[in-house]
Chains A and B, each alone.
Chain A
Amino acid sequence: MNALAQAACIAAVALAAAGGTWLVKGPPGRQLHCDPAVLKPDEVCLDSIPAGDGVVWVDARSRADWEKNGVPGSLLWNLDPAEDMQAFEAGVAMRISETPRVVVYCGDENCGVSRQVADRIRNLDLGAEVSVLHGGWRALSEAGRVRGSSPSP
C-alpha cells in the first residue's frame, strides 16, 4: 500500500469515528463555559451577576452594535476617537452614584477594549467595583440578556 492509500485509510477511519461520535453524542457543544478557577483577576462569570438593577452594564463595542443588540439599560463606552469621552465619563459617573457595581463587556472573548474601558472607569476613582465580563457579549447573548436574544437551551 502506498503512502497516499495509507493516508486515505487514516482519514476514512477518523471520519467514521467522528461521524459515529456525532450520532451518539450529538453535535459538539459550542456553548461558552466560564470556569471561575481560570478567570483573570478582574473578570467575572455571568452566572455570578444577578439579573436586575444591581449592576451598571457598560458596552465597549461600537455604537451601532450597542444600539442593535446591547444589554437593555446599558451604557456605551468605547474607544472610538469620534465619540465624546467626557460624555461617557459623565454618564457612567451618574449611574455609579446610584449603583456602585460596573461590569464591562466587549464583542468577543479576547477583546481587550473592555479591559481598557474598565481601567478608565476605575481611574475615575468613584469607588465602584469594576469588572470585565468573561465571554463578553456572546455570554450575554447565550443567556438571553441582550436585546433580541433568547436563552440558549
Chain B
Amino acid sequence: MKKYACGIWLALAALVQAAGLHFPETLKEVHAPADAKTVPAEFEFTNRSDKPVTVAKADPTCSCIAVKIKDGKLRYAPGESGLIRAEFDMGNFSGTVDKVVAVWLEGDPADKPSVSLTVRVHIPVLVALEPKTLRWDLGGESGPKTIRIEMTHSSPIRVTGVNSSSSHFTQEIKTLEDGKRYELVVTPTETTSPGMAVLRIDTDCDIAKHRIQQAFAVVRKPTPSEAATPP
C-alpha cells in the first residue's frame, strides 16, 4: 500500500514539474507611436522542468490581440526556449491599456491557465479633453461650463468645428493658443428639463483616428450619492 501511495505522490510531483514554463517577464510595456496601427510584444520562455511541456493554447482576452507562437511550435523539450508574440491592434484605444494573454499548458484545467501574460500599451493622447463630460443639476443653475482642449502632438492641431446633437445646449470654441490650447464653453438653454448632448469636436489632426473627439453635456437629476456630497 505504501508503495502505491509513494507512486501516486511521485506521479503528481512529476505533473507539477511538467507544468513549468519559465517566463522571465510576464508584463511587457510598449510605448506605441501615435500613428501605429498595431504594436507587437514578445514574451520569451524556457522549459525549466525535466519533462517535455506542450502549450495547449494561448488565448487573448480581447479580439484586439492576435497571438502567435514562434514557428507554430507547441511542444518544448527540457531546457528548450520559445517565444509568444502578441500583436495589439490599437483600433480606437487611447491612454494606457492592459491586455492579457492566457496560456494553457497541456493538463491545465479549462478555467485555470498556467500563465497570464500582460501587454501594457501606452498610446499617446494627442487631443486631451478635460473634463470629457459637463453636468448640470436638474433645476439648478444654468451657467456656462468649460472643457479644456490641449494638443500634445509634435505638430499643431487646430479645432475646425464643434457640433452638438441637441439644441438643449449652446457651445462656443475659444482659441487660447493656436494649434495647442482651446476651450469649449457649453451652456444649457435651461435646466428645468433633463437633456443630453454629444459634442463632436473636429480637428485637422493628420492622424485619422485622433481627428474627431467626443464630449458630453448633460442636465440630469443628481444621484443620491451626489446629492449627499457637499458642493
Stretch at the interface among B47-55, B139-147, B220-228: B220-228
* Chain B residue nearest in CB terms to A79: B62
Interface 1/0s, chain B 110-134, versus A by CB < 8 A?
A: 0100000000000000000001110
The answer to whether B92 touches A113 (Cβ under 8 A) is no
Q: How far, in whole Å, are A81 and B91 apart by their CA atoms in the complex? A: 4
Chain A residues, Cβ within 8 Å of B220: 97, 100, 126-127
Taking a contact as CB atoms closer than 8 A, the residue among A79, A82, A90 that contacts B165 in the complex is: A90
Chain B residues, Cβ within 8 Å of A110: 111
Within 8 A of B (CB), among A102-142: 110-113, 116, 123-127, 129
| Given A81-B91, A125-B133, A127-B220, A90 contacting B198 (CB threshold 8 A) | yes
Interface residue A80 (Cβ < 8 Å from any Cβ of B): yes
Q: How large is the interface on B (under 10, 10 to 19, 20 to 34, 35 or more residues)?
A: 20 to 34
The answer to whether B61 touches A97 (Cβ under 8 A) is no
| Given A81-B91, A110-B111, A127 contacting B135 (CB threshold 8 A) | yes
* Chain A residue nearest in CB terms to B91: A81
Stretch at the interface among B10-18, B151-159, B210-218: B210-218
The answer to whether B198 touches A124 (Cβ under 8 A) is no
The answer to whether B63 touches A93 (Cβ under 8 A) is no
The answer to whether A112 touches B64 (Cβ under 8 A) is no
Interface residue B44 (Cβ < 8 Å from any Cβ of A): no
The answer to whether B165 touches A127 (Cβ under 8 A) is no
Interface residue B20 (Cβ < 8 Å from any Cβ of A): no
* Chain B residue nearest in CB terms to A78: B63
The answer to whether B92 touches A124 (Cβ under 8 A) is no
| Chain B proximity of A107: nearest CB distance (Å) | 11
The answer to whether A124 touches B61 (Cβ under 8 A) is no
Q: How far, in whole Å, are A86 and B165 apart by their CA atoms in the complex? A: 13
Interface residue B69 (Cβ < 8 Å from any Cβ of A): no
The answer to whether A100 touches B223 (Cβ under 8 A) is yes
The answer to whether A80 touches B63 (Cβ under 8 A) is yes
* Chain B residue nearest in CB terms to A80: B63
Interface residue A94 (Cβ < 8 Å from any Cβ of B): yes
The answer to whether A80 touches B64 (Cβ under 8 A) is yes
The answer to whether A127 touches B91 (Cβ under 8 A) is no
The answer to whether B89 touches A94 (Cβ under 8 A) is no
Interface residue A42 (Cβ < 8 Å from any Cβ of B): no
Interface residue B79 (Cβ < 8 Å from any Cβ of A): no
| Chain A proximity of B29: nearest CB distance (Å) | 18
The answer to whether B196 touches A86 (Cβ under 8 A) is no
| Chain B proximity of A72: nearest CB distance (Å) | 23
| Chain B proximity of A11: nearest CB distance (Å) | 15
Q: How far, in whole Å, are A82 and B64 apart by their CA atoms in the complex? A: 9
Interface 1/0s, chain A 16-49, versus B by CB < 8 A?
A: 0000000000000000000000000000000000
The answer to whether A79 touches B63 (Cβ under 8 A) is yes
The answer to whether A97 touches B64 (Cβ under 8 A) is no
Interface residue A84 (Cβ < 8 Å from any Cβ of B): yes
Chain A residues, Cβ within 8 Å of B135: 125-127
Taking a contact as CB atoms closer than 8 A, the residue among B63, B133, B194 that contacts A124 in the complex is: B133
| Given A84-B92, A97-B196, A125-B132, A79 contacting B218 (CB threshold 8 A) | no
Q: How far, in whole Å, are A89 and B93 apart by their CA atoms in the complex? A: 13
15 CB < 8 A contacts A-B: A79-B91, A81-B63, A81-B64, A81-B89, A81-B90, A81-B93, A86-B92, A93-B196, A94-B196, A97-B194, A97-B196, A97-B220, A111-B61, A113-B62, A127-B220
A residues sitting closer than 8 Å to B (CB atoms) are 3, 62, 78-86, 89-90, 93-94, 96-97, 100, 110-113, 116, 123-127, 129
